[in-house]
Structure 1
């Protein structure tokens, strides 16, 4: 591979924004990809994947390069040189790469790869938490899988097409997909492609949604004609799936504390042909109280650490703080206590997170069930999805039923 100056500069600029200006990697990369209209798909893939790679392995590369945050541009070029050397890419004779000690880099890599926190490039505190909650064997496998690049998974919109038809439509556009056993709505791309420019996407035939995330709506056991509340809807990936399972019959109420996210959901719903939904901003306790005892189904896709989806958001491990974890556990219990009141007698509730930590998952459910509000519910079943076992995102979901 030959390195091109303009692409490498884009990567360095992106890393500056992510590491030094605390911007989100996915947004920075979206902006970078619009930088030069002459770039082809390979150029854009190089910028995106290289930036994500260096973000993912920041701790390991910084240790090898012997640089510390905040990184100036020279230090960022050193991180880049480590990345290129370990990828076996010949460094050009640019001033940034003068005196790069390639043999020393490889030696340091071999040495540091024996220590998990460096090998998997994670902060000490996250390593300690994972070890404590999951045990050495499970945590070692799980955090290794969280550093693998995630597959692109599509969820077919059953309101408009079938999985087989969608597969054929995409095949005609040179996008090959395969079915995944046990995931009835999922198609996995055989090779990465920009699916958002396809007519199939513009016409609402699918959404991009990880296979683990697709399990949640099914777990909720919805039926056409029900009143269903998605309490932390965000931009609505699961809301749209729920609406499709309900065949556009009944009512899905999508709630969130951020109005901007619900506006995105409105646009997505129109594209998906979903019309059995209402949007409600949680700006006080009123929207919740109005629904007390009225919902057949309630989904609480709770805010969490996101330690099950680091493959997609590698910068999250550098942004997370131990204090946030304590705070989010309190928030999780609060939303369980408040939002569970919307479930009617005989109705069902799903509590879900994209975390692999028991303290955010089954322990939250156990705590809720022994509380005053939780005594009205019985535990039906739960599902723990670990990335190293499933090959997809780490997830948790628990199904509870309100007593008659």
Structure 2
């Protein structure tokens, strides 16, 4: 294969699928990177950055375009709108690309996709923005800070208002800035196969940069690798990719050797794997999810890591399993949620979630908790967690579980991107059945 791939055309196709058809950004981008794995690392990085950056900053990009276009963004043809958005992202955020090249490539794309009649429009708008990029005006921070933050950080206004109400404006801005921080890659070492020091040595031999993580002895931060599946250490099952915020949930649990653990919504299996390594050969983990597809994702990781104390099951968490009533030392309930904490990695979430969905998700979470709480034995632990930042889905649900089913709060922890740079937002509630 050759490298004669139009990278911007690849990105345009990704954006059209996400913005016009509602596909998931992380899946499409991962599929594209896998398809073009033969390309140079820098070219793959360009695809990833331009795709994610354009999606993440769409509200700001549209705000800028509307200042310099006679046709509002909302009235543009979808393909032209996506070309303009990805081009303005390059002009504003990618200093290493000449503005002239951005404009020329945008015109070529419009022409190749059958919009020759609009190439002058595209060229005019983009060159106008390029000439004025140092003088773009934003909403007045002093007059309407919520509107300012919404545009500056490309976050829907209703989410900004919600966080302002729940957390205050300073914390809200810290979260928004946290999403824009460089994302880090963390691994949970498979200490059932090798020690952390042995895994560090092997990674170093593979020319991977490794750093320890304060507070969690089995976690490492890695960087400077080409792609994870290309590493023999990964294929040999020496570790599992898991964000440090998610790993914290397992660390807080305090698994004991020999524990029986039920992970009720487990795919792709990170928390189940963490539990299995922690409880040892005498322990047992039942790793469950609702479909064969999701169970397959878990199984794939379990087989790669060579863990024999995990049983993967297709089970609907909403359906009571009487055989497991009061059998678990620990129930892991990392439930479906709004995902507001992972918008740094999945930026399209912000455009797809609604206030109505938040209400229905809270109801779903309570429905699942009302079933799976029965699996916790007396004195056992319920670990309720979400990857969101919303007190109604988090603290309110944990409080509800304590009130309705006789659990006692041990610890709540809300991890915020701005407070823990390079990680996701995550909530964990550790509860004990009295």
1: CA distance, partners of 2:321 / 2:315: 8
2: CA distance, partners of 1:300 / 1:282: 13
Query: What does residue 118 of structure 2 align with?
Result: none
Query: What does residue 14 of structure 1 align with?
Result: 14
For 2:204, which of 171, 178, 184 is the aligned residue? 171
Q: Which moved more, 1:178-187 or 1:195-204?
A: 178-187
Whether 1:402 and 2:433 are equivalent positions in the alignment is: yes
Q: TM-score, normalised by structure 1?
A: 0.92
Go from structure 1 to structure 2 and tell me whether the alpha carbon gap of 1:283 and 1:333 turns closer, same or farther (over 3 Å shift).
closer
Go from structure 1 to structure 2 and tell me whether the alpha carbon gap of 1:71 and 1:346 turns closer, same or farther (over 3 Å shift).
farther
Whether 1:83 and 2:113 are equivalent positions in the alignment is: no
Instruction: Tell me if the contact between 1:234 and 1:265 (Cα under 8 Å) persists in the aligned partners.
Output: yes
2: CA distance, partners of 1:368 / 1:146: 30
Query: What does residue 292 of structure 1 align with?
Result: 325
Query: What does residue 103 of structure 1 align with?
Result: 131
Go from structure 1 to structure 2 and tell me whether the alpha carbon gap of 1:213 and 1:164 turns closer, same or farther (over 3 Å shift).
same
For 2:79, which of 64, 68, 73 is the aligned residue? 73
Q: CA deviation at 1:148?
A: 2.4
Whether 1:58 and 2:52 are equivalent positions in the alignment is: no
2: CA distance, partners of 1:319 / 1:205: 36
1: CA distance, partners of 2:330 / 2:87: 53
Could you tell me which runs of 5 or more consecutive residues in structure 1 were left unpaired when the two chains were aligned: none
2: CA distance, partners of 1:357 / 1:119: 21
1: CA distance, partners of 2:38 / 2:361: 44
Q: Deviations over 1:291-342 (max 9, x none)?
A: 1111111111121111111111111111112111010111122222211111
Query: What does residue 322 of structure 1 align with?
Result: 355
Q: TM-score, normalised by structure 2?
A: 0.86
Q: CA deviation at 1:124?
A: 1.6
Name the SS for the 2:240 alignment partner: strand
1: CA distance, partners of 2:5 / 2:374: 58
Instruction: Tell me if the contact between 1:195 and 1:201 (Cα under 8 Å) persists in the aligned partners.
Output: yes
Instruction: Tell me if the contact between 2:207 and 2:224 (Cα under 8 Å) persists in the aligned partners.
Output: no
Go from structure 1 to structure 2 and tell me whether the alpha carbon gap of 1:69 and 1:274 turns closer, same or farther (over 3 Å shift).
farther
For 1:260, which of 264, 283, 293 is the aligned residue? 293
Runs of 4+ in 1 over 6 A off after TM superposition: none
Q: CA deviation at 1:30?
A: 2.3
Query: What does residue 47 of structure 2 align with?
Result: 47
Go from structure 1 to structure 2 and tell me whether the alpha carbon gap of 1:113 and 1:257 turns closer, same or farther (over 3 Å shift).
farther
2: CA distance, partners of 1:78 / 1:85: 10
Query: What does residue 380 of structure 1 align with?
Result: 410
Name the SS for the 1:125 alignment partner: helix
2: CA distance, partners of 1:113 / 1:193: 43
Instruction: Tell me if the contact between 1:356 and 1:396 (Cα under 8 Å) persists in the aligned partners.
Output: yes
Q: Which has the higher helix share?
A: 2
